Amino acid sequence: MRTKLLSKQNAMQSAIAVAIGCAFAASTQAAVIIPTKSGFSGYINLGVGGVSVKSNMLASIINGNVDVGDKEIDNLADSPNGSEGGAIPAANFELSYTFASTRTQLYIGNLLENYLSMEMNTLAGIRQDVGNAGNIGAAVTTTSVDTQVWSDPYLTDAKRKDTDRTAQGFNVYWQQIMSSGLELKYSTSEVDIDKERSGQSLALTTAQRKLLDRNGDVDRYTMSYEFASDDNRHIVTPSIAYVDRDLDGEAMANDGGVASLNYIYKQDDHWRYVLNASYGDFDYKEANPIYGKQDSSNSYGVSGTVFYTEPFGWKDWSFNATAGYYEEDNDIDFYDTEVGVVVFGMFRKF
């Protein structure tokens, strides 16, 4: 069973790695194969793309180089008026070193893990093959490319000021449990808004402004299972997750569930396709002091990646193109968010 599973994963490793490089894979550790020989290995994906964002909360991405939010708004009742965005570079990688005698691997890499907040994280961790029991691993994470949010997003008829949003945390996982397709993962991060001034421009009490604080912890518990056809041309991985955003502001804190589906199709030795879809349902913990009601939200996401291996006869290279659309629909319209992304890249494994 273990041999069959590893053979299946080797056959699809390039497909999954490309999806990771394009930042829309279901999991950072999806279908990881620890090499049998000691030494360095990994991948790099370089390209360019475009992003379009509708948000009243996000200001800019890529360390402030791409504006994705209006500096000035005229009311607090409506969804974001229009899309903002522009061209973005795409640079994703993983570099690992394997100790074959102990079946241990150290790695560092980066990944866009949260598409609605456009949060790019760097991960550094360890993976361990434990035989028929599967693979276990852990990693620390930190923001590698800053996202800017509005310090006081509720300021109207004046230019809002942006501030950095960063996150640090860690994750642990156990995959291929007892030589099966089952994976369990836990991740946590501490969100820090550098200059959190939410509600400062409004006639709110100190206690009411505290309810809008966006700092805090985010915990995610995920379970997934990988199914494959006998010829390994089709791999389907459904997953469910519980997410607890334990933020300091109780009106911003929320929790709920996310269901997602990852599908990989290998057409032939050159063409592969990766599709992802997700749905989330979240309830907020306290009434919002601005709107006088408790919020709830639904999130939807879909993305697709197509890639062609060895273009122009280039060994170990793959051309890839990804398109994705994600939306969060809130009962309080002001917090609605939409993100659209298109990326073209060249991927190389080594």
pLDDT for residue 118: 63
Q: Assign residue 240 the CATH number of its domain.
A: 2.40.160
**Bridge partners for 278 per DSSP:** 260, 301
Count of structural domains within the chain: 1
Q: Residue 311 in contact with residue 318, Cβ under 8 Å?
A: yes
Q: How far apart are CA 75 and CA 114, in angstroms?
A: 27
DSSP annotation of 129: E
36 or 151: which carries more pLDDT confidence? 151
The per-residue pLDDT for range 237-268, each reduced to its tens digit, is: 999 999 999 999 999 999 999 999 999 999 99
Burial annotation 120-132 (CB, 10 A radius, 16+ → b, else e): bbbbebebebeee
Q: How does the average pLDDT of the chain come out, rounded?
A: 88
DSSP 143-211: EEE-EEEESSTT--SSPPPEEEEEEEEEEEEEESGGGSSEEEEEEEEEEEETT--TTTTSS--HHHHHT
Q: Is the pLDDT of residue 55 over 80?
A: yes
pLDDT for residue 91: 82
The per-residue pLDDT for range 66-84, each reduced to its tens digit, is: 899 999 999 999 999 888 8
Q: Is the pLDDT of residue 276 over 50?
A: yes
Instruction: Return the closest-CA partner of residue 339 out of 323, 317, 350.
Output: 323
Query: In whole angstroms, what separates CA 309 from the centre of its chain?
Result: 25
- Locate all alpha helices (DSSP H) within the chain, ordered by sequence: 2-21, 206-210
Q: How far apart are CA 294 and CA 275, in angstroms?
A: 34
Give me the mean pLDDT over the 320-346 stretch.
94
Full-model pTM: 0.88
Give me the mean pLDDT over the 310-315 stretch.
91
Range of weakest confidence among 35-39, 46-50, 115-119, 120-124? 115-119
Q: Which residue has the tokens 């273009």?
A: 311
CA dihedral 95→228→260→216, nearest 10 degrees, is -40
Q: How far apart are CA 160 and CA 336, in angstroms?
A: 18
Domain that holds residue 270: 2-349
Confidence class of residue 90 from pLDDT cuts 50, 70 and 90? confident
pLDDT for residue 34: 87
Instruction: Return the closest-CA partner of residue 164 out of 85, 62, 88.
Output: 62
